[in-house]
């Protein structure tokens, strides 16, 4: 093999190593050196070095580490962190296929960062490169800053993506997605096992996709829904949707987003819930016509479900339904598959009733009881 380090020692590999290929199948190797620099080398597809200098030193210090490198349009983008006078910074450099450096010598300083926790990463949105990194020492939030094709920074100030600095919910890891547009998507996991996400665009727009934040409470005869969002856009809306089977939803109301740059809380009261189980979710519509959904929550609005039981569950051939319900008129049983398709329908008679489900494929189903005054659903499995 070819020794790109030039003999090891202080030039040798001492941390991260990144390898990328350009449109000519030439290889770019970027590594944290043992001597505390970020080194960058080009190897042609014939196995020789591509530059007169075997490697380029990207940092002016000896405290650089945790590099991440990507190649776009035969140009390398490299981010790393380095420490000076006790403070750590996220750095960024841009190197073309001829070895020319486009940003300030030593790298462009992006922002203060968390030396202990930050592992900066890069993503491409169109022809822009976005660096994502950890912002502060006291609370581990994720922020982003980009470099435009003219080498100018994308935002006046780095854009905050995660809200851990407000709620002390630190992230554990994050994943970036490239895009053909000037937007990037990031997903991260929190220390309390939730999944969050956001889209960030060239104009600093952030679409919140905070999951597992919707909750519901039964208070008297009403249902109280509450959810939380952050980094909103003026003009975005929230649709409150409801279902009686967790599959087919209808819209109850539309609520304008508050357009706040920090955490915003919302409450909606469903004063006329359905009988039986009510399933709710929130649909976020942004100003560009894109939509995201929250988690689904449910609450029981009657005793019908507890008075309607099925056995055996799982079932192979015959499903028995026990009814202890004050029934309305036109009582029916509908069975839906998990795609929401009605696969069987029965008219109920009082008392215990047996249903032949032999023809159903193996899997999970929703059994829905419905009459003219109430609805109840039960999930069962067909073996």
Q: Do 98 and 242 have their domain in common?
A: no
Q: Is residue 195 part of a domain?
A: no
| Better-predicted residue by pLDDT, 371 or 382 | 382
Q: Is residue 204 a part of any domain in this protein?
A: no
**252 and 319 share a domain?**
no
Res. 18 pLDDT band, cuts 50 70 90: very high
Residue 190 domain-assigned (yes or no): no
User: Are 79 and 219 members of one domain?
Assistant: no
User: With 60 as the cut, is the pLDDT of residue 205 above it?
Assistant: no
Domain count within the chain? 3
Whether residues 232 and 280 share a domain: the answer is yes
Whole-angstrom CA distances from 274 to 67, 121, 278, 279, 376 are 55, 47, 6, 10, 9
User: What is the 8-class DSSP label of residue 9?
Assistant: G
* Whether residues 291 and 331 fall in one domain: no
Asked whether residue 86 is assigned to any structural domain, the reply reads: yes
The pLDDT value given to residue 137: 47
Q: Can you give the residue range of the structural domain that contains 355? A: 308-382
351-380: pLDDT as tens digits: 788 999 999 999 989 888 877 666 777 888
Read off the CATH number of the domain in which 220 is found: 2.60.40.10
Residue 114 lies in a domain: yes
pLDDT digits (tens, 9 = 90+) for 58-83: 999 889 999 999 999 999 999 999 99
Residues 21 and 95 in one domain: yes
pLDDT averaged over the chain? Answer: 82
Across the range 302-328, mean pLDDT stands at 76
Q: 49 and 125, same structural domain?
A: yes
pLDDT tens digits along 225-249: 988 776 565 567 899 999 988 778 9
Give 192's pLDDT tier (boundaries 50, 70, 90): low
The answer to whether residue 187 sits within a structural domain is: no
CA distances from 139 to 14, 87, 144 (A): 28, 16, 16
Segment 265-276, tens digit of pLDDT: 899 999 999 888
Same domain, 123 and 156: yes
Could you tell me the CATH number of the domain that includes residue 350? 2.60.40.3080
Tracing tokens 């599959």 back to the chain, one arrives at 247
Domain end (from 250, 270, 300): 300
pTM (predicted TM-score):
0.53
Across 21-30, 48-57, 200-209, 295-304, which has the greatest mean pLDDT?
Answer: 21-30
Of 268, 300, 332, which residue sits at a domain end?
300
In this predicted structure, the answer to whether residue 307 has a pLDDT above a threshold of 70 is no
Kindly tell me if the per-residue pLDDT of 17 is higher than 90. yes
Whether residues 113 and 45 share a domain: the answer is yes
Question: Is residue 65 domain-shared with residue 145, that is, in the same domain?
Answer: yes
Residue partners of 139: CB distance under 8 A and separation at least 6: 164, 165, 168, 170
pLDDT of 211 above 50: no
Tell me, yes or no, whether 199 lies in a domain.
Answer: no
């Amino acid at each position: 093999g070819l020794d790109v380090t030039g003999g090891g020692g202080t030039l040798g590999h001492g941390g991260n190593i990144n390898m990328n290929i350009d449109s000519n199948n030439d290889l770019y190797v970027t590594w944290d050196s043992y001597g505390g620099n970020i080194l960058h080398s080009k190897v042609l597809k014939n196995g020789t070095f591509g530059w007169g200098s075997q490697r380029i030193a990207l940092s002016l210090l000896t405290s650089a580490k945790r590099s991440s490198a990507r190649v776009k349009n035969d140009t390398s983008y490299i981010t790393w962190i380095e420490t000076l006078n006790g403070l750590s910074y996220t750095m960024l450099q841009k190197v073309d296929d001829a070895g020319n450096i486009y940003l300030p010598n030593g790298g462009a300083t992006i922002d203060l960062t968390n030396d202990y926790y930050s592992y900066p990463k890069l993503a491409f949105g169109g022809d822009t490169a976005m660096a994502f990194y950890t912002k502060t020492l006291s609370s581990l939030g994720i922020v982003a800053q980009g470099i435009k094709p003219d080498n100018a920074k994308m935002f006046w100030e780095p854009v905050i993506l995660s809200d851990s600095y407000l709620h002390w919910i630190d992230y554990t890891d994050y994943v970036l997605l490239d895009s053909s547009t000037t937007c990037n998507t990031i997903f991260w996991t929190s220390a309390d096992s939730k999944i969050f996400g956001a889209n960030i665009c060239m104009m600093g727009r952030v679409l919140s996709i905070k999951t597992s934040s919707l909750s519901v409470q039964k208070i008297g005869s009403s249902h109280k829904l509450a959810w939380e969002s952050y980094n909103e856009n003026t003009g975005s809306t929230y649709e409150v949707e409801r279902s009686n089977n967790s599959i087919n939803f209808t819209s109850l109301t539309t609520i304008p987003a508050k357009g706040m740059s920090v955490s915003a809380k919302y409450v909606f009261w469903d004063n006329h819930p359905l009988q039986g189980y009510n399933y709710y979710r929130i649909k976020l519509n942004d100003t560009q016509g894109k939509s995201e959904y929250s988690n689904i929550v449910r609450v029981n609005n009657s005793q019908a479900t507890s008075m309607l039981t099925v056995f055996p569950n799982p079932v192979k051939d015959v499903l028995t339904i026990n009814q202890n319900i004050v029934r309305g008129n036109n009582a029916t049983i509908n069975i839906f598959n998990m795609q929401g398709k009605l696969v069987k329908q029965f008219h109920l008679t009082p008392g215990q009733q047996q249903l032949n489900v032999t023809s159903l494929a193996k899997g999970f189903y929703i059994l829905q009881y419905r009459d003219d005054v109430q609805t109840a659903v039960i999930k069962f499995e067909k073996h």
